[in-house]
Structure 1
Amino acid sequence: MRRLKRDPMERAFQRGYQHGVQGKSRDTCPFTAASIRQEWLNGWREGRADHWDGFTGISGVHRLNEMHAVG
């Protein structure tokens, strides 16, 4: 069975979140398209906030799943 491709905006958000929660710089954003870059930065900001709040490792992954289940 073939898997459907995930939404590129959702993937950008998740990748940005992962970079943010790991404490990486926002300058590491790999995207140049404005809308996708903005979504990556939104994820990065959420990840940084969770990093500062102590949501690292597995708890950060669970937090990411919770955010997308609600939204």
Structure 2
Amino acid sequence: MKRQKRDKLNRAHAKGYQAGISGRSKENCPFQAQEPRSYWLGGWREAVEDRSLGLVKG
């Protein structure tokens, strides 16, 4: 059971990262529950930082 939960959270992080790379606003987070929302926003922040450092082009 824990593996499934971890996989969902990793997927939320990855989706947030993709949203950040593509320049979408953090207000577009599709999650309402606290934990997946936190992972999504973490991915989004990581992507925005990577874009500002020039590591990826959005």
TM range (shorter): 0.7 to 0.9
Please tell me whether Structure 1 or Structure 2 has the larger radius of gyration of its CA atoms.
Answer: 1
Q: Which residue of 2 aligns with 1:23?
A: 23
Q: Is the 8 Å Cα contact of residues 16 and 44 (structure 1) preserved in structure 2? A: yes
RMSD: 2.0
1:7 alignment partner, SS class: helix
Q: Can you give the 5+ residue segments of structure 1 that lack an aligned partner in the other structure?
A: 61-71
Q: How many residues align?
A: 54
Q: Which residue of 2 aligns with 1:44?
A: 44
- Alignment identity in percent? 44
Q: Which residue of 2 aligns with 1:7?
A: 7
TM-score by length of 2: 0.81
Q: Is the 8 Å Cα contact of residues 21 and 55 (structure 1) preserved in structure 2? A: no
Q: Can you give the 5+ residue segments of structure 2 that lack an aligned partner in the other structure?
A: none
The runs of at least 4 consecutive aligned structure 1 residues that moved more than 4 Å come to none
- TM-aligned CA deviation for residue 23 of structure 1: 1.4
Higher RCO structure (Cα 8 Å, ≥6 apart): 2
Bigger helix fraction = 2
